[in-house]
Amino acid sequence: MFDCEWTKSLTRYDCRALQALDGSPCLEIGTPFSLPDGSAINIYLKPESQFVRISDNADTMFQFGGMGLDVWNGPTHASLTGLLAKHKTQMTSAGEVFLLAHPDKCAQGFAVAVAALLGLAGWAADKLGEQPDTDDDPAAVAEPFIIARDPSAAFKRNFHVRGASRLDHVFDFRHGHDAIDVISPWPQSTGGAMRKAGDVQNGPMSEDFRPLFIVDDRRDQDKAYNEIEILGSITRAMPLTRLMATAIH
């Protein structure tokens, strides 16, 4: 059934049921992200033939115009369509950013749409001379891409795992048998992750759940890869951009 309960297989972002202009059902997903002017990034899902249309309802280009960005001149429009093509999304003549996903691939399609709209937000921030907001809750960024790995796997936020020390460790997510934390590329974060991993991997739940640390490498890849190498000596770790790219490709 096409309703907000169904979207839990795609995301745990807020969902609201709407009615499209043609009377068909439409779901609005409120993401925790925003454009450089502070306007919210929302994603809309609507059945279309045998597919689901995943769209921004042309909100992004409208907001860019309000920021003084001329998105319709030739070079800029070509740049934007090229950026969207890298994310396997398109833009209509009315400025709607969208993609069509088969129902059993909607989780991947939703993650791709998130990546495309974050890419547009980064482009706009660069044009306005602002720093892209890559520090704003990397766990929220990672969430749809984690789900997209296997939409049928059990998923839970704030997942508790008991360690060998009998301490109760809280991970950002459970996805299947993975206990996942999304961390910043700093030595303090790495140190905490290694202690957590060692305790959990030797604890009573080690056969049921395996730690996985996703390191936010969007701003400083070299620093992130150094921390990933350190983590990799005792546990599993990967860069956030690789996780995002998996859904796109």
Q: Where are the domains of the chain?
A: 6-127, 138-248
> What percent of the chain has pLDDT above 70?
96
- How many other CB atoms are found less than 10 A from the CB of residue 226? 15
Pick the CATH number of 138-248 from 3.20.20.70, 3.30.70.2660, 3.10.129.10, 3.40.1350.10: 3.40.1350.10
Torsions phi, psi for 3 (to 5 deg): -150, 180
Q: Are 247 and 148 in contact (CB under 8 A)?
A: yes
143-161 tens-digit pLDDT: 999 999 999 999 999 999 9
Give burial (CB, 10 Å; 0-12/13-18/19+) of 180.
buried
Q: Rounded CA gap, 90 and 138, in Å?
A: 25
Question: Which parts of the chain have pLDDT scores under 50?
Answer: 134-135
Question: To 10 degrees, what angle do helices 240-248 and 106-127 make?
Answer: 120
